[in-house]
Amino acid sequence: MPPLSPYEVALGGDLTALHPKLRAYFAAIPPGRHGVGRGSFDTVGTPRRWLWPVLAVLARDGVLFPVWQQDVPFLVVNRPGPARVDAVRRFEFGGGARDMVDAIGADADGLTDRLGRSGRLEARLDGRVVDGALHLTSSRLFLHHRGRRVSVPRWCAPLVHLTERFDDGDQRQHVRVTVTLPLVGTLYEYAGSFRYSIESGEPSV
């Protein structure tokens, strides 16, 4: 029996509740192949410039970026790894291309997302399917430092929410991610659409 993707593990091995066009994105990628999505984000970043110094630190690790831009072309490449999916999202900003990096895995408690090239930030994600779309919401945030895994207190841990849906009208996959903090509001966001396919050969990023 072929291995399950992290999303299949988190959803009990059954993706049939998802829109049929989304199943290829969230199912296990066959060995020797990779998934590629090409599209455009309507918005990326935050207009709150007081956050940009913090985002500049996260940008060095390929997590988030100190920007607020519209109509940003992007490329996403998903590679199958051992019990995980490694993803690179390349944003073609006006000042140059930047890569966001993460690795999605799963265990008995659900999905885990190791953020950045170092993987020092870990978000636990709860998933549910609503009207064929996948909704992921972070439940815990951890920091890995010097061999320790430290839980970030809930009162200061940003809440991440992701929605992936397919629009039959434009035949595109739509994604929206928001990062919010209680009493502050939206800290970061990106939203847009793309077309996705499974391809063979070595990906370009």
Please write the tens of the pLDDT for every residue from 21-44: 999 999 999 888 999 999 999 999
Question: Which residues, other chains included, contact 153 with Cβ-Cβ below 8 Å and sequence gap of 6+?
Answer: none
60 CB contacts (<8 Å, ≥6 apart)?
none
Lookup: tokens for 111 = 């999905």
The H-assigned helical ranges of 12-127 are: 20-26, 52-59
Q: Are 36 and 160 in contact (CB under 8 A)?
A: no
State whether residue 24 is helix, strand or coil: helix
As given in the structure block, the two tokens for residue 170 are 């434009």
pLDDT of 2 over the 80 cut: no
Q: How far apart are CA 42 and CA 72, in angstroms?
A: 7
pLDDT tens readout for residues 107-151:
888 899 999 999 999 999 999 999 999 999 999 999 999 889 999
Q: What are phi and psi for residue 59, nearest 5 degrees?
A: -65, -30
Segments in the chain forming alpha helices (H): 6-10, 20-26, 52-59
Contact partners, residue 131, CB within 8 Å, separation at least 6: 165
Write down all domains in the chain, each with its CATH number in brackets.
6-198 (2.40.128)
How does pLDDT run across 51-82, given as a tens digit for each residue?
999 999 999 999 999 999 999 999 999 999 87
User: Which pLDDT score is estimated for 155?
Assistant: 87
Q: Please report the pLDDT score of residue 74 as a whole number.
A: 97
